[in-house]
Amino acid sequence: MTEPSDITRALRAGIGTDTSAGAVIPPIHLSTTYTFAGFNEPRAHDYARATNPTRELLADAIVTLEGGAGGIVCASGMGAITTVLLAMLKVGDSIAIPHDCYGGSWRLFHRMAERGNFTVHTIDFTDTETACESIRRLAPTVVWLETPSNPLLRITDLEPIIATSQEVGAKTVVDNTFLTPVLQRPLAMGADIVVHSTTKYLNGHSDVIGGAVVARRAEDAELCDFWAKTAGTMGTAFDSWLVLRGMRTLPVRMRAHEAGASAVAAALREHPAVRTVHYPGLPDHPGHEIAARQQGGFGGMVSFELFGEAEVRAFIDGLQCFSLAESLGGTESLVSHPVTMTHASMSPEALAKAGLSGGLLRLSVGLEDPADLIADLQAGLERVTGL
């Protein structure tokens, strides 16, 4: 038989490997400490902040999916991002970030910069030519990318940005939370590091806060592992076990999320109460061609704009199949208002620069029947029309 694919190997991570009882599903190792075989004879594991068999099983599965040389599992997406910053940047260094990155990342980058940890440069990476010029001029230590961006789903053309970053010796980090390795594999495009909030699609059931880092080179993975152990940003065994369970259905879920999101985006754009729909799968989305080339699908996130906050209120009050909540990537559909929720920590100037208006709504399209989701959205839009 030919070698199984990365997806098959990741989905079968740990299956049938238990030697104590022959369990098909690998057990959870909750113990914080491990016996030494004898005096000065440590085994593979000694203390669970440093290593844990369940966490390593999940890390290996994510590394396999992303095609990396090594990786670590963290306590949250922000824990993963913090670990990468600790590993890659020292005082005097600089980081180039997207002007519309996830609000929590934006806050971390800026608060650390204010304390003198490093300098932040904000770049619009969707304008490839200007972004490459800025990278050449600024020569940052790290280039941080997030594509599709949150919440406007703007697309960054990864290959030229990564190639230019390599020219100036910058490390590239891609936040791959929105697409997962099923739909986008940045390391194969030359990125150095991928980070995830596993809280989202990788776990997929909205019951774990978690994160992960995967590196293309073993030495970068080892450096991140060192900082995760040292700073204590690693994930717990129980959460790792749950994420591993969730990931076993990842490819099927991603296809269903995408089918629902495409149908929702197409329906939204038909309605006069909707000003704009942002979904990379729509042929007139500015990043559509790049997305079609560099992604294996368009994902499950859709955002759209109503004409103002009064419309937003009328639309949200009365939704049946979308819960008003932060986060994304679960089986259930969610709606969020980025300006007052996920991106509330951004300054008004930064919101304006990123193009985030009070009429913007973001949908995480779940696995419910798309016909029900569309009917619910259309009822909301009728409330808006009746204002």
Ligand X SMILES: Cc1ncc(COP(=O)(O)O)c(C=O)c1O
For the bound state, the minimum distance from the C-beta of residue 196 to ligand X, rounded and expressed in Å, comes to 8
Q: Which is nearer to ligand X, 178 or 315 (CB)?
A: 178
Structure tokens at 206: 């909205």
Q: Look up 34 and say whether it is catalytic.
A: no
Q: Which is nearer to ligand X, 104 or 296 (CB)?
A: 104
Q: Look up 175 and say whether it is catalytic.
A: yes
For the bound state, the minimum distance from the C-beta of residue 197 to ligand X, rounded and expressed in Å, comes to 3
Structure tokens at 69: 């040389």
For the bound state, the minimum distance from the C-beta of residue 146 to ligand X, rounded and expressed in Å, comes to 6
For the bound state, the minimum distance from the C-beta of residue 219 to ligand X, rounded and expressed in Å, comes to 24
| DSSP line for 317-373 | TT-SSSEE-S---SSS-EEE-TTTTTTTTS-HHHHHHHT--TTEEEEE--SS-HHHH
Q: Which candidate in 157, 175, 192, 239 is catalytic?
A: 175
**DSSP at 41:** B
Q: Look up 49 and say whether it is catalytic.
A: yes
Q: Which candidate in 171, 200, 216, 253 is catalytic?
A: 200
Q: Which is nearer to ligand X, 208 or 274 (CB)?
A: 208
For the bound state, the minimum distance from the C-beta of residue 137 to ligand X, rounded and expressed in Å, comes to 27
For the bound state, the minimum distance from the C-beta of residue 97 to ligand X, rounded and expressed in Å, comes to 12
Q: Which candidate in 55, 60, 100, 102 is catalytic?
A: 102
**E strand residue ranges, the chain:** 70-74, 94-98, 119-123, 142-146, 171-175, 193-197, 211-215, 276-278, 301-305, 323-324, 334-336, 360-364
Q: Which is nearer to ligand X, 176 or 357 (CB)?
A: 176
Structure tokens at 61: 């599965």
Q: Which residue is nearest to ligand X (CB)?
A: 77
Q: Which is nearer to ligand X, 102 or 118 (CB)?
A: 102
Separation between Cα atoms, residue 109 and residue 345, nearest integer Å = 12
Q: Look up 9 and say whether it is catalytic.
A: no
Within 8 A by CB and 6+ apart from 132, the residues are 160, 161, 164
Q: Which is nearer to ligand X, 78 or 155 (CB)?
A: 78
Separation between Cα atoms, residue 89 and residue 216, nearest integer Å = 18
Q: Which candidate in 12, 49, 275, 313 is catalytic?
A: 49
Measured over the CA atoms of residue 335, residue 337, residue 342 and residue 343, the dihedral's sign is positive
Separation between Cα atoms, residue 134 and residue 124, nearest integer Å = 10
Cα 316 from chain centre: 25
**Which parts of this chain interact with ligand X (CB under 6 A)?**
76-78, 102, 104-105, 146, 150, 175, 177, 197, 199, 209, 211, 327
Active site positions, annotated: 49, 102, 175, 200
